[in-house]
Amino acid sequence: MSFIDVVEQYEDFDVDGFLGQVTDRDVERALAKEKMEPMDFLALLSPTAAGHLEPMAQKARRLTVQYFGRTIQLFIPLYISNYCSNQCLYCGFNRTHAIERKTLTLEEIECEAQAIASTGMQHLLLLTGESLQATPMDYLEAAVRLLKRYFASVSIEIFPLDKADYRRLKTAGADGLTLYQETYDRSVYRQVHLAGRKADYRNRLDAPERGARAGFRAVNIGPLVGLGEKRHDVFMCGLHARYLDDRFLETEIGLSLPRINPAEGGYQPAHPADDRAFVQFLLALRLFMPRSALTVSTRERAGFRDRLIHLGVTRLSAGSCTGVGGYARPAERKTAQFEISDQRSVAQVAQAIAAQGYQPVYKDWDLIA
């Protein structure tokens, strides 16, 4: 069994036909349930459900406070390389783009770690482009070991690995894995991933499951909203989360809905989601997966992120820089993967969270080896 079986099952299902027939009563019935089935979730993604945002928000907030309290976990991304062997139409790291390429040395990573740690951040997300040549396993392993000296928790967002390599990084101290499928639509996936290992849809689709099998405590997934038909992608992402949650009791499944931001290459999303649709999707995910972490990155605007705190979000990145080496040397920020929208510092984001009546949590987890 693999999630590919679920993908194939729904390729024959008329999602649009279903969405078009959802009634107000269907939405209300879904909202009244304690545990939602896939069709309840799909009903909440329908245009009809857009007229029920307030009751959805009220229930989403109630469930989130019950399971997570009034707390928001903070994390910060660290890009250590932007070399990439792929040709993804929407990404600033696309190998055909004439950007300045860089892979940090371990010494440079340490400088970055020191700069980040001085902000109080304890949860770090380590990112690379997808290039096994530029960032081989030995290098990644050394980077994780080094960063564990500075941070309570190190997660990775890198190219898909096999189970043995995931286990190597877990043994080195990484405890979380983030991997976005980008789009669950296989035909769109082929169209936007022109070359490189990332063009292998199935390899990417099964990677979160391999990560869970390798023992990562947290696995975070999501679509890149805008690539494929957005309701389809959010629906499949929810099913993917439920699939993993049902099989790996020891793994915390998290979700995120990154929206496409301007990047080198000027890709224009075929299916953009406006704020209202984005909120609806976020709420539907929260109601379908009440105990899952929901992350919102600095791709979203500051004021909008503050409002999302009340709508089921449990994790925010803060003080982010998507350039390689940009924390210790702000001049390096020109190598960014995409433009960030919330430019506030860690302290400013923490302050904004507190102003919303929530507690910013710098340290929520510690892997004691």
Partner 1 sequence: MENDTLTIGGLEFTSRLFTGTGKFADDRRIADMLAASGSQLITVALRRIDLGGKSHNILDFIPKSVTLLPNTSGARTAAEAVRIARIAREAGCGPFIKIEVITDTKYLMPDNYETLAATETLAREGFVVLPYVLPDLPLAKRLEDAGAAAVMPLGAPIGSNRGLETAPLIALLIENCRVPVVVDAGIGRPSHAAAAMEMGADAVLVNTAIATAEYPVAMGRAFSLAVEAGRMAYLAKMAEESRTAQASSPLTGFLDPIEDIV
Binding region for partner 1 (CB under 8 A): 65-71, 117, 120, 122, 152, 245, 249-253, 291, 354, 357-359, 361-366, 368
Closest to 7 (Cα-Cα) out of 339, 240, 245, 347: 240
Of the pair 3, 184, the CB lying nearest partner 1 is at 3
Residue whose tokens read 């890709």:
267
Report the b/e string of 232-266 with b at 16+ CB within 10 A.
bbbbbbbbbbbbbbeebeebbbbbbbbbbbebbee
Helices (H) and strands (E) in the chain, counts: 14, 9
CB of 152 to partner 1, least distance (A): 8
Query: Helices 53-68 and 24-32 sit at what angle, rounded to 10 degrees?
Result: 10
CB of 63 to partner 1, least distance (A): 11
Closest to 60 (Cα-Cα) out of 344, 313, 276, 352: 313
Of the pair 66, 187, the CB lying nearest partner 1 is at 66
CB of 365 to partner 1, least distance (A): 5
Of the pair 22, 316, the CB lying nearest partner 1 is at 316
The beta strand positions in 213-292, using DSSP E, are 218-223, 252-256
Could you give the 3-state DSSP secondary structure of residue 210?
helix
Rounded Cα–Cα distance for residues 329 and 125 (Å): 19
Yes or no: say if 62 and 107 are a contact pair by the CB < 8 Å rule: no
- How many CB atoms sit inside 10 A of residue 208's CB? 27
CB of 359 to partner 1, least distance (A): 5
Of the pair 191, 356, the CB lying nearest partner 1 is at 356
CB of 67 to partner 1, least distance (A): 6
Of the pair 267, 288, the CB lying nearest partner 1 is at 288
CB of 130 to partner 1, least distance (A): 29
- Non-local (6+) Cβ contacts of 15 within 8 A are 42, 231, 232, 235
**DSSP state for residue 103 in the 8-state scheme:** B
CB of 96 to partner 1, least distance (A): 41
Of the pair 45, 253, the CB lying nearest partner 1 is at 253
- What's the token pair of residue 87? 């040709």
- Non-local (6+) Cβ contacts of 163 within 8 A are 210, 213, 214
Of the pair 122, 183, the CB lying nearest partner 1 is at 122
CB of 25 to partner 1, least distance (A): 28
- What's the token pair of residue 282? 């976020």
CB of 120 to partner 1, least distance (A): 4
Of the pair 18, 365, the CB lying nearest partner 1 is at 365
Of the pair 63, 194, the CB lying nearest partner 1 is at 63
Partner residues linked to 253 by β-bridges: 219
